[in-house]
Amino acid sequence: MTARRFLISTAVVILVIGAAYVMGYWPERARRVALEGEVTALREQLNDAGARVRMGRLLGDLLNVIEAASALNYGQAQGLSSKFYDAARVEADRTHVPSFKMALEGILQSRDGVTAALTRGDSAAVETLRSAERQLREALGYPVSPPS
């Protein structure tokens, strides 16, 4: 009887330990899974915010190009334009936001025309740059002012 009682006691102890383990494990596992889901959502939000910040910086760079071209400072506008279009190409390749990518691809198509116009000292480049500004503003969800 002692051996049988020992086996039963051992089985009960093992069951109690197993039940305690499961009771502690499952809630912690569920909590961990929920937190991992939250971390994933926060990472996506962070990536989206980073993309918006980079697009905002591009908009600021573009406004500097427009300002220089409007002031008929075509040499400075050329340098700023080159930097802007290079940064726009990098961001178009990097971004995962479809509206940003579409806007940037459209803007990049105007690069050669703007560069040529600035080289000639043609003020028509300003209108093309303003069109690019409207595209960036729309992609960012900013109000687009009517053309003046």
Q: Residue 77 maps to which CATH number? A: 1.20.120
| pLDDT at position 1 | 64
147 falls within a domain: no
| pLDDT at position 30 | 84
| pLDDT at position 23 | 78
Mean pLDDT of 60-65: 97
Q: How far apart are CA 90 and CA 99, in angstroms?
A: 16
Domain encompassing residue 24: 2-140
Q: How far apart are CA 45 and CA 37, in angstroms?
A: 13
Q: Among the listed ranges 2-6, 83-87, 144-148, which one has the minimum average pLDDT value?
A: 144-148
Q: Is the pLDDT of residue 130 over 90?
A: yes
Q: How many domains does the chain have?
A: 1
Determine which helix (DSSP H) or strand (DSSP E) holds 126, and give its type and residue range. Answer: helix 124-140
Nearest of 66, 54, 48, 50 to residue 145 by alpha carbon: 66
Q: Is the pLDDT of residue 38 over 70?
A: yes
Length of the chain: 148
Q: How far apart are CA 5 and CA 3, in angstroms?
A: 5
Q: Is the pLDDT of residue 78 over 70?
A: yes
Model confidence, pTM: 0.75
146 falls within a domain: no
Mean pLDDT of 95-118: 94
148 falls within a domain: no
Token digits for 21?
Answer: 């383990």
Q: Among the listed ranges 25-29, 32-36, 82-86, 128-132, which one has the minimum average pLDDT value?
A: 25-29
Mean pLDDT of 44-69: 95
| pLDDT at position 146 | 59
| pLDDT at position 148 | 55
